[in-house]
Structure 1
Amino acid sequence: MNREKLTKFILQYGDELLGEQVKTIDLPALEAELSKIKGIGDKRLKEIMVVIEKFLDV
Structure 2
Amino acid sequence: MVNKEIIDQDTYRKIKKMNREKLTKFILQYGDELLGEQSKTIDLPSLEMELSKIKGIGGKRLEEIMIVIEKFLDVE
**What TM-score, normalized by structure 1, do the two folds share?**
0.70
Question: Residue 9 of structure 1 corresponds to which residue in structure 2?
Answer: 7
Q: Once superposed, what is the RMSD of the aligned Cα atoms?
A: 2.2
Q: Larger relative contact order (C-alpha < 8 A, sep ≥ 6)?
A: 1
Question: Residue 18 of structure 1 corresponds to which residue in structure 2?
Answer: 34
Larger radius of gyration: 2
**What TM-score, normalized by structure 2, do the two folds share?**
0.55
Q: Secondary structure at the match of 1:28?
A: helix
Give, as a single letter, the amino acid of the residue that structure 2 aligns with 1:48.
I
> Where does 1:1-58 land on structure 2 (aligned, <5 Å)?
7=5, 9-10=7-8, 18-21=34-37, 22-58=39-75
- Deviation >4 Å, runs of 4+: none
Unaligned runs of 5+ in 2: 12-29
Unaligned runs of 5+ in 1: 1-6
Identity over aligned residues, as a percent? 65
Q: Secondary structure at the match of 1:9?
A: coil
